[in-house]
């Protein structure tokens, strides 16, 4: 599975790579309104670029598009990358659930975080998001 998953920084995406992400953000029943419990509408490629750039600057973060078999299927982000404890969040299109993409992506983002010197990752997961809980559960260390 890992060789079918690639992460690409969103600020390096072409307009054609952004368009499928816009479709997921705007119309995927598994994603929206799950993003902060309010519908997010991004009408254009330029809107996506601006929102992504603003988010990365304000959160001191980096966002990656998730590619599965060469197609963009979601996004994963790290925020507070200038601190020892970072936050992770993201989404995958509902049509790609159950393919191991989430697990492979989470392992990959942990590798990236480690190379950046990040010592700890936190996340807020909705109690109803059983898929995400299952992905992250093996990595949870509670104190």
- Give per-residue pLDDT as tens, 125-138: 777 777 777 777 77
- Please tell me the number of Cα atoms within 13 Å of 86 on its side-chain side: 25
pLDDT tens per residue, range 44-74: 999 899 999 999 999 999 999 999 999 999 9
HEC string for the chain: CHHHEEEEEHHHCCHHHHHHHHHHHHHCCCCCCCCCCCCCCCCCHHHHHHHHHHHHHHHCCEEEEEEECCEEEEEEEEECCCCCEEEEEEEECHHHCCCCHHHHHHHHHHHHHHHCCCCEEECCCCCCCHHHHHHHHHHCCCC
pTM score: 0.86
Q: What percent of the chain has pLDDT over 70?
A: 87
Read off the pLDDT of each residue in 107-133 and give the average, rounded to a whole number.
Answer: 84
Q: Tell me the sheet residues that pair with 139.
A: none
User: Per-residue pLDDT for 33 more than 50?
Assistant: no
């Amino acid at each position: 599975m890992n060789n079918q998953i690639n992460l690409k920084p969103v600020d390096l995406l072409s307009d054609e790579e952004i368009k499928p992400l816009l479709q997921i953000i705007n119309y995927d029943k598994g994603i929206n309104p799950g993003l902060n419990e309010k519908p997010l509408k991004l009408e254009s490629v330029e809107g996506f670029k601006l929102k992504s750039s603003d988010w990365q600057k304000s959160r001191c973060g980096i966002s990656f598009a998730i590619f599965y078999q060469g197609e963009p299927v979601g996004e994963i982000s790290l925020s507070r990358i200038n601190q020892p404890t970072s936050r992770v969040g993201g989404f995958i299109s509902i049509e790609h659930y159950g393919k191991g993409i989430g697990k492979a992506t989470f392992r990959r983002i942990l590798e990236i975080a480690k190379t950046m010197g990040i010592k700890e990752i936190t996340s807020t997961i909705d109690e109803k998001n059983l898929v995400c809980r299952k992905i992250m559960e093996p990595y949870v260390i509670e104190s």
